[in-house]
Amino acid sequence: MSVSGDKPAPVRPQGFWSYANPVKFLGFSERILPALWWLSGICLAVGLIWGFFFTPDDFRQGSTVKIIYLHVPSALMAINAWFMMLVASLVWLIRRHHVSALAARAAAPVGVVMTVIALVTGAIWGQPMWGTWWAWDPRLTSFLILFLFYLGYIALWEAVDDPDTAADLTSVLCLVGSVFAVLSRYAVNFWNQGLHQGASLSLDKEENVADVFYQPLLVAIAGFVLLFLALVFYRTGTEIRLRRTRALLARQRRA
Amino acid sequence: MKALLLRDLMLAFRAGGGFGLGLAFFLIVTVLVPFSVGPQSDLLARIAPGVLWLGALLACLLSLDRLLALDLEDGSLDLLATSPLPLEAALSIKALAHWLTTGLPLVLAAPLFGVLLNLPGPGYIWLVISLALGTPALSVIGTFGAALTVGIKRGGLLLSLLVLPLYVPTLIFGAETARRGAAGMDTSTPALMLAGITLAVIAVMPFASAAALRVNLR
């Protein structure tokens, strides 16, 4: 966004904020969606096939390590989806752009599915490695709590009839929930020491997962990110059209 | 503010069901636990702090959906919103009234129920301290949940779904304080964290509650 100091406030928003206009947003998302679908499909196919069939087995974990190509990206996206909802909620509360509120609403079910994938693949991976499907480990527990937050958020969207009221209430809940989700993460850490290994990927650490696993993992993560974007764009478009249909029906009834 | 507090307390005492109900619920939960896990006293002693905390938390939850819904029905919530008193202050007072009628009796009755669960000797004082530190946070967070769901028909179940995840940090530190106290270990870390959560929530949460309530009264 460009800030112009000498001119008076522009009548039409420029740059990034101009996509708050639903028509412009829809046009943009329609142009970009096919590319997103294709790219995410290609990345997922390459990353998963490369990861599953063309990497060696881990010397301790054997072939079970290969579930990492589903587990890590979905866990990453589960957290990032909530973060995206937080940003979108803030934009809605501050600038009142409807597209933003609808994007937050559209992202929530995707985030839930990512959380479930991370939990299920984690259980499937944990069974041979730790000898248990589930342990009350801090990371596992915080993910379960994140899942509950998602459920509450979606339930609140569903329960409120008026769309603007629902957007306001869910945004407030998202802000408060974010604070409490972080607080729970640390509380849970304090409460129990875990089985789960440390971070698999980080930017500031020398030691990451070995390169043979690392490269296909990055491709798979890119695939998940693109898939998330495609789903959110698609679902936001659906929400916008749904709302427009409702408005048209309401106008028809009044006429 | 004092008038509002007195009014809420009077209503809780006189309009039946509000005051003793939470306490009775707490008692029933405590009585049901030995039926479900068996009467071995060493097992009960081990789980007593956690069970008592969970019981207190659920008893707090029970009365939340009436916290604002009744006031919305008879219109006094609209009067509060238009009065010179800021909505944040009004909601803080309502949370305080909720704590005085629900949380405080739980704190005072908890040692009695501890006897039923064979709570070890040093645990009593820490159970009371941890509940006294933690239940105000439960009331304030619960007020936020009530403000979010006040406009929704049959919002009771939704209220639980929204509020229970928010209770997680309070429950962890509260139950940990009581557990360590019962085991004779050092309790200062969880107790301080619990007090910190309560103070932070009392300071910040009324603003979120008032924001949600304003949306619902619009």
**Number of separate domains in chain B:** 1
Query: Is residue B100 within 8 Å of residue B9, measured between CB atoms?
Result: yes
CA-CA distance, A186 to B189, in Å (whole number)? 13
Tokens 């069939």 locate to: A53
Q: Would you call A188 and B152 a contact, using CB atoms and an 8 Å cutoff?
A: no
Mapping DSSP onto H, E and C, the string for A2-37 reads CCCCCCCCCCCCCHHHHHHCHHHHHHHHHHHHHHHH
Q: B75 lies in which domain range?
A: 2-217
Chain B residue whose CA is closest to A159: B152
Contacts of A216 (CB under 8 A, 6+ apart): A46, A47, A48, A50, A51, A54, A55, A69
Residues of chain A in contact with residue B162, where contact means CB-CB under 8 angstroms, are 152, 155-156, 173
Report DSSP state, residue B74: T
Window 172-191 of A, Cβ < 8 Å to B? 172-173, 175-177, 180, 183-184, 186-188, 190-191
**Within chain B, where are the H helices?**
2-14, 18-37, 41-62, 65-73, 76-82, 87-98, 104-116, 123-149, 156-166, 168-182, 188-217
CA-CA distance, A134 to A120, in Å (whole number)? 10
CA-CA distance, A242 to A230, in Å (whole number)? 18
Q: Would you call B162 and A190 a contact, using CB atoms and an 8 Å cutoff?
A: no
The pLDDT, as a whole number, for residue A90 is: 93
| CA gyration radius, chain B | 18
Which of A168, A169, A180 lies at the smallest CB-CB distance from B165? A180
Nearest residue to A158 via CA among A178, A143, A179, A173: A173
* pTM, 2 dp: 0.87
DSSP characters for B120-161? Answer: -TTHHHHHHHHHHHHHHHHHHHHHHHHHHHTTSTT-HHHHHH
Each residue's pLDDT expressed in tens, for chain A with a length of 255 residues: 444 445 555 566 667 788 888 888 888 888 999 999 999 999 999 988 888 888 777 766 777 778 888 898 999 999 999 999 999 999 999 988 888 999 999 999 999 999 999 999 988 888 887 888 888 888 888 899 999 999 999 999 988 888 889 999 999 999 999 999 998 888 888 877 656 666 655 555 455 566 677 788 889 999 999 999 999 999 999 999 998 999 899 999 987
